[in-house]
Amino acid sequence: MTRAYGLKAILKALIVSYIVTGILLFGIAFSMYKLGLKEQTINLMVTFVYLFATGVGGILIGKNMKHRKFLWGFLLGFIYVVIIFAASFIATGGMTAILSNGLGTLLLCAGGGMLGGMLS
């Protein structure tokens, strides 16, 4: 297996993960608008979105890679959250949001990707 194949598989799984994230976050925003959900409920839903999206990405990358699927899934979840942190830093111009939820989000996304890789 070449490095280019691994990079291509990661990019493909990341794109699918972000598409799933976008669709689910749109659904949350619509629900928030129509139902007036509480902040605690929204936070729980966003946590589910992160876990589900990285799990889907982990399954995809696990199906493409034949060995060490859980490590590939972990890597996918790690890269997923690093990109989210970078986007957050660029959008807000600071580290406040990253520092407040960073470690938990990192562990959640990396764990979701790893779980998806193991389930593939």
Span 61-120, pLDDT tens digits? 999 998 899 999 999 999 999 999 888 888 887 776 666 778 888 999 999 999 999 998
More confident residue, 2 or 81: 81
Span 11-55, pLDDT tens digits? 999 999 999 999 999 999 998 888 888 888 998 999 999 999 999
- Contact call for residues 68 and 16 (beta carbons, < 8 A): no
State the pTM of this model: 0.87
Q: Compute the distance between CA of residue 120 and CA of residue 83 in angstroms, rounded to an integer.
A: 24
More confident residue, 3 or 63: 63
Q: Compute the distance between CA of residue 65 and CA of residue 47 in angstroms, rounded to an integer.
A: 27
